[in-house]
Amino acid sequence: MLEISPIPAFSDNYIWMIRQPGATGVVLVDPGSSKPVLKKLTQLGLTLDAILITHHHSDHIGGVTGLLQVYPGIPVYGPANENISVLSHTLTEGDQVSLDTLGVSFQVLDVPGHTRGHIAYYGEGVLFCGDTLFACGCGRLFEGTPQQMEDSLSKIAALPPDTRIYCAHEYTLDNIGFAKWVEPDNPDLLQRDEVDMAKQEQGIPTVPSLLELELKTNPFLRYRVPAVKQAAEKYAGHTLSNDAEVFGALREWKDREYD
């Protein structure tokens, strides 16, 4: 099984470091800063063999140039539909990324919405989804439409329920707060609140999470649940005729009244 650990960056980012147990070569996902990465690699006696990028925002790619200065020539994979100058390999839906240092391959998924060309990496029972899906939340629609994001989240929701979700930020408790606005009586959500609150009080990351738990508690994956749809319609003040409208109302509600 892959060994995946977070390298904290900025105030709430996670740079994911992937390796085989006992191996010295690692792969990084979304290194927004080089300094904490280089410190961690030095501490553990590891070397960087490849980088995976999900989208173009600076807190996800800002460290790549500095890392390439130390590890020149390593492959940098990322979305073909975004302008990221540091990429050596561009990817779209259906591509496979074979990482020899890990002995595994990841399937590429197009998941636009947060940005126009956002991608995710799926394989070995894990999903690296950047800012598309968060623990109990989802990314803001900076460049995409509600329909695009709803399609992307539906694609993720169709993965096996035991998929481990590696998102890029520690937003979970804040996201749970909004989810409780939407479904205040959801017992799974209330239990999650207690569990994740306890983790944070102990300084333990709340991610990864299981897709099964997201399907039980995340309002942005539960827009077809009657109680969630009713809450969205109450906020919107009118009937919502399709899934994208329900999702869009939930996203607008969080943006305008919660965040």
- Catalytic residue numbers, as ranges: 55, 57, 59-60, 114, 131, 169
CA angle 208, 107, 165 (to 5 degrees): 10
Q: What distance in Å separates the CA atoms of residue 251 and residue 253, rounded to the nearest whole number?
A: 5
CB 232, CB 250: distance < 8 Å: yes
Positive/negative CA dihedral, 33, 37, 38, 43? positive
d(CA 112, CA 93): 11
* Amino acid identity at 211: L
Sign (positive or negative) of CA dihedral 59, 61, 64, 66: negative
**Are the C-beta atoms of 97 and 138 separated by less than 8 Å?**
no
Strand partners, 123: 126
CB atoms within 10 A of CB 230: 13
Rounded Cα–Cα distance for residues 185 and 174 (Å) = 17
Contacts of 88 (CB under 8 A, 6+ apart): 75, 76, 77
Alpha-carbon distances of 17 from 3, 14, 24, 52, rounded to whole Å? 8, 9, 12, 10
**Cα 137 to Cα 146: distance, rounded to the nearest angstrom:** 14
